[in-house]
Amino acid sequence: DLIRDLQTPSGTHSQAAHTGGSVRRLAGALSTANAASVTASTGCAVMTSSTDFVYSATRGTGTTNCGSGGTVQCPPCIMAGSHTGITATIQDCSTYEKTSSSGDITDELIEFVFINTDSADALTIQARTGSGTNVGSAYLLGPYESVVAFCYSGGSNRLHFPDNGAYCSAGCDATAPNDRTGTAFTRRLVSTSSIATKLETIGGITSAGTIAGRVFANDPGGAITWGVSGAQTAGFTSAKWTELDTIGGITSAGTIAGRVFANDPGGAITWGVSGAQTAGFTSAKWTELDTIGGITSAGTIASNVFANNPGGTVSWGGSCNGGTVWCY
């Protein structure tokens, strides 16, 4: 039953020895039938829903899941018809039951053929020991694809596919790689850590990917408007930005703040001395600056002098009313 024995010294295969004269052939034209309707001579089982194919079950016992009542050995050719994403489970392939009289395979190899005829969805193929232990990773067979896998008697029910993900084909390393249809890929892989580091640096900012992840962690809820007089509005409306750009009645506060912080003050700024701003001066330096001609608290005195507008040019000196006064 679809058993390909190792070649004899004469170079022939002895399939008929396992089938009692009824031989299925993998090469050439194959007959197909729905899994529940296969017979001993069906070449390929067709599935349209997820199916467990049990290869260790003795035919005639109703446990193979193939043929009428699950009494026929499942062929090692599985074809998926039209479907919306299904799984073919290949159970106990290493103990493939050859015939009810000859028992399991011994020192033999089974060739499995899988075909996915669906135009949109992948066929998932999963090897399994018994009814619940998966062997290896699932293999996804894309739309319109086919693949051949092998299982041998000493392989612990593992299916050996030509591509199990360990290596990429040489074509993937081309400067402009194409897929198997000859179409150029629209996405490229980063092949070295140094290239990845370069891509992770934007405008001199390292860990740009991490920063970008934080920026985009939450949906702003709409298109972001970038750039208002050199600043970032980050999605605020023009009216909201004007409101935010006004501090203490001072408009264009963002521009002013930008000038204030344009140069590093070199240390922590001490704010507020008698209502004035020291802007980084030490207490001793401020006292020195607040002393004019030996007069301390000159800043306060000056504030008192200039608190009211004299209304015109002040003339200094002269004799008015018997003394040196301000003369108008």
Going by C-alpha positions, the residue among 158, 160, 184, 161 that lies closest to residue 172 is 184
Going by C-alpha positions, the residue among 73, 145, 141, 148 that lies closest to residue 110 is 148
Q: What is the pLDDT of residue 218?
A: 81
Q: What is the pLDDT of residue 184?
A: 80
Query: What whole-number distance in Å separates Cα of residue 244 and Cα of residue 251?
Result: 9
* CA 38 and chain centroid, separation: 43
Query: What whole-number distance in Å separates Cα of residue 300 and Cα of residue 281?
Result: 17
Tokens standing for 299? 């800043």
The 10 Å Cβ neighbour count of residue 107 is 9
Tokens standing for 172? 């993937």
Q: What is the DSSP string of 78-146?
A: EEE-S-SSEEEEEE-GGG-EEETTTEE--S-EEEEEEEE--SS-PEEEEEEETTTEEEEEEEEE-TT-E
Q: How far is CA 101 from CA 97, 105, 136, 152, in A?
A: 9, 12, 31, 20
Q: What is the pLDDT of residue 35?
A: 95
SS3 label, residue 3: coil
User: pLDDT by residue for the chain (328 residues), tens digit each?
Assistant: 333 333 333 333 333 333 444 555 445 788 999 999 999 899 999 999 999 999 987 777 788 889 999 889 899 999 999 999 999 999 999 988 876 555 677 788 999 999 999 999 999 999 999 988 999 989 999 999 999 999 999 999 999 998 766 777 777 777 777 776 677 877 766 556 676 666 667 777 777 778 777 877 887 777 776 665 555 666 666 777 677 677 777 777 777 777 777 777 777 766 665 555 566 666 777 777 777 777 877 777 877 877 787 777 776 666 665 554 555 5
Q: What is the pLDDT of residue 12?
A: 33
Query: What whole-number distance in Å separates Cα of residue 328 and Cα of residue 315?
Result: 7
Query: What whole-number distance in Å separates Cα of residue 152 and Cα of residue 112?
Result: 11
Query: What whole-number distance in Å separates Cα of residue 66 and Cα of residue 60?
Result: 10
Place of tokens 């992770």: 200
Residue pair 294/285 in contact by the 8 Å Cβ criterion: no
Q: What is the pLDDT of residue 1?
A: 38
SS3 label, residue 233: coil
pLDDT digits (tens, 9 = 90+) for 139-175: 999 999 999 999 999 999 999 998 766 777 777 777 7
Residue pair 15/49 in contact by the 8 Å Cβ criterion: no
Query: What whole-number distance in Å separates Cα of residue 78 and Cα of residue 93?
Result: 13
pLDDT digits (tens, 9 = 90+) for 185-232: 777 665 566 766 666 677 777 777 787 778 778 877 777 766 655 556
Residue pair 73/111 in contact by the 8 Å Cβ criterion: no
- The amino acid present at 11, given as its one-letter code, is G
Residue pair 287/301 in contact by the 8 Å Cβ criterion: no
DSSP label at 223?
A: P
